[in-house]
Amino acid sequence: MAASGYRELLRTPGVGRIIAAQLTARFPSGMASLAILLHVEHTTGSYGAAGLVLAATSVGQAVAGPVTSRWMGRWGMRRVLTLTLLICVLAVTTLALAPLHLAGYMALGLIAGLSTPPVQAAVRTIYPKMVNSSQLTPLFSLDASLQEIIWIVAPVVITFVSTQVGTVQGLLLVATIQVLGGAWFILSREVGRVRIPRSRRGFGAVVLKPPVMLATVIGFLLIGACASVEVGVVATFDHGGLEAGLVLAVFSVGSLAGGLASGRVPIGPWAMARRFAIVTVGLALTMISLNVFWLGGSLLLAGLGVAPALAVLFAITTASVKFSESAEAFGWVGTGQLIGAAAGSATAGVLIDQTGGAQGAYLAATLFAAVGLLVSIVFVRAFPDLRDRDPSPIPDTEPVILPSS
């Protein structure tokens, strides 16, 4: 998509503002994993323990995602977002300041995960109400691309603060940005203006739709690969400097570039397989060498497929469900991603401890991606063809009773 097309999209009333607000609200998500990883590894001396705490956090997010997302249709976005934000900030602050053993860290990580505000589900439910159908797919691509700013800047910032100042200060920085960004998003006009209708279907029914199930499984595998890479990069460079944050930033730069370039590429049934192939090849190359420049180059290549793959996930989910089901559907898709993050982090952490090196983490990342590519190929017929189709949610309709003649 040309730059002029993105400028036109951002000139749509409210689009630029809500993108900026949600990116700020989600910025701590790019810091929290590294902050927790560094803090727990620093206090316990074990990457395995740190991986378990990250897994507990991700499992909490995974369990809560569909539930809190569905609650927004019952009690309203602002109420749910405000309550979850307050609990999450308290949990992160306690995690930073309280002297704990592994069980305590895992319990607080679980609470922080359970109370993570459902910002992603909220904003991706709002988007179809802000733009016309022809702009929706490019908006998802832009969103998936710009969120990489989080993964470019946040790892560098949190690595610097945690290694040069202290891991406690790193977690407190996460909590501070949670408060500021969360307040901005919650008070945004669009959050108060859009109301999600209460879903008439039973809880969990929407995830049984093939495109939503596929998006959930594919998201699990894609984010599992990314989480393994994150742990592997941190272990590769340990606490020696900013290399870990910079290499992860390069990974995100590739994703940003790929997402922006694919904004107007039609999404057909094979779109996911093509994009996952790029990720798989790039991650496979990481196993050749742990040299900083080689890792940076191979992760740059892998990143070119990440945001485009996420854009496909968002588009097929939106196009396959009713508006009243959108938030819960994105909650389930987020759950898949978060379980993937838990699996990737825990697997990579254990393999690092057992092998004494970071190579195991990159192998795990490559296997996650390879399985994702395989799933995309085997189930290609289940992917909706959006090349000549309105990707907006299916309208909610009421039964009409006709008078008898």
pLDDT of residue 5: 65
Mean pLDDT of the chain: 84
What's the sign of the alpha-carbon dihedral 173, 174, 176, 177? positive
Residue 162: CB atoms within 10 Å: 26
Q: Is the pLDDT of residue 401 over 50?
A: no
Residue range 13-382, CATH number: 1.20.1250.20
How far is Cα 28 from Cα 154, in angstroms, rounded to an integer? 8
**Which residue from 143, 119, 161 is spatially nearest to 25, judged by alpha carbons?**
119
Examine the pLDDT at 157 and tell me if it is beyond 70.
yes
pLDDT at 402 > cutoff 60:
no
Q: Amino acid identity, residue 361? A: A
Q: Which of 116, 72, 62, 139 is nearest to 346 (CA)?
A: 62
Q: For residue 111, is pLDDT > 90?
A: yes
Buried b / exposed e along 294-306 (16+ C-beta atoms within 10 A): ebbbbbbbbbbbb
Residue given tokens 């379980």 in the structure block: 339
Tokens of 100: 């704990």
CA distance linking residue 229 with residue 221, whole number of Å: 12
Angle at 278 between CA 136 and CA 350, to 5 degrees: 105
**DSSP string spanning 23-48?**
HHHHTTHHHHHHHHHHHHHHHHS-HH
Cα dihedral 40/43/46/50 (nearest 10): -10
pLDDT of residue 239: 52
pLDDT value, residue 393: 64
- The pLDDT of residue 396 is 58
The pLDDT, as a whole number, for residue 376 is 93
65-88 mean pLDDT: 89
Cα(250)–Cα(76) distance, integer angstroms:
38
Q: Which pLDDT band, with edges at 50, 70 and 90, does 126 fall under?
A: confident
| Annotated domain spans of the chain | 13-382
Q: Tell me: the pLDDT tens digits for 2-33?
A: 555 677 777 888 888 899 999 999 999 888 88
Q: What is the pLDDT of residue 339?
A: 82
Query: Taking residues 112-125, what's their average pLDDT?
Result: 88
Q: Is the pLDDT reported for residue 168 higher than 70?
A: yes
pLDDT of residue 54: 81
Half-sphere CA count of 380, side-chain side, radius 13 A? 14
Q: What is the pTM of this model?
A: 0.77
Cα 380 to the center of its chain, rounded Å = 23
- What are the pLDDT digits (tens) for 331-345? 888 888 878 877 887
- Give the Å distances, CA to CA, from 178 to 126, 158, 181, 264: 21, 14, 5, 33
Report DSSP state, residue 394.
Answer: B
Query: Collapsing DSSP states into helix, strand and coil, what is residue 178?
Result: helix
